[in-house]
Amino acid sequence: MRLFLTGNPGIGKTTVIRAVLDRLEDVKCAGFYTEEKRHGGQRIAFKIITLDGQEGTLASVGRREPTVGRYSIHLDEFEKLVLSHLDPDVIPADVYVIDEIGKMELLSQKFRTKIIDLLAQPSHILATIAKKGKGFVEEIKRRNDIELIEVTRENRDDLPQQLKAKIKGALGIKAMN
């Protein structure tokens, strides 16, 4: 089971991921999600939060290379924090959570390699992936071993329960409401 959520920026992909995680209390999950950091109503950074509670900075407003738009990408911090959480030999899990496979994260070649490695194993994955993107993003979305689900205003409230049922079904866990 490989569930990849896509959709327009700000539509609620991370919110759906977090809502699914809240419903999977009896499932061992590893990975990370991202969160905006704001100051005075302005977005100033993106945080990485691992599912075991570690935090780091993915990007912050600045001009230090590499950059995406107005953000400097903190590749070393991202890789140090995230890569081990997507490695079954380091952290075995029932489901690996990746939020997100997007422009900032994909500046890391090690992250790209880790995703390919994870997809080469019989691992269950819940991820978000950019709606637009060339190259690596297109390759992942074209794979026949993933289910691509678009998050929309119409379905985002129902998705967490539906995804919980799919995940528990794939794991052979009887889903209780």
Question: What is the per-residue pLDDT across 92-106, written as a single tens digit (0 to 9) for each?
Answer: 999 999 999 999 999
Kindly tell me if the per-residue pLDDT of 177 is higher than 60.
no
pLDDT level of residue 174 (50, 70, 90 thresholds): confident
Beta bridge partners of 2: 125
- Whole-angstrom Cα Rg for the chain: 16
Mean pLDDT value across the chain: 95
> In the chain, what are the domains?
2-35+87-171 (3.40.50.300)
Left, alpha or beta for 14 (phi > 0: left; psi -120 to 50: alpha)? alpha
Kindly tell me if the per-residue pLDDT of 33 is higher than 90.
yes
The residue whose two tokens read 């896509």 is: 6
Write down the pLDDT at residue 114: 97
Kindly tell me if the per-residue pLDDT of 175 is higher than 70.
no
Whose CA is closest to 88, among 53, 110, 52, 114? 114
- The answer to whether the bond into 92 is cis (omega within 30° of 0) is no
Alpha-carbon span 110 to 48, nearest angstrom? 16
pLDDT per residue as tens digits for the range 122-160? 999 999 999 998 999 999 999 999 999 999 999 999 999
pLDDT level of residue 109 (50, 70, 90 thresholds): very high
Kindly tell me if the per-residue pLDDT of 176 is higher than 70.
no
Beta strands in 62-159 (DSSP E): 67-68, 71-73, 95-101, 124-129, 147-150
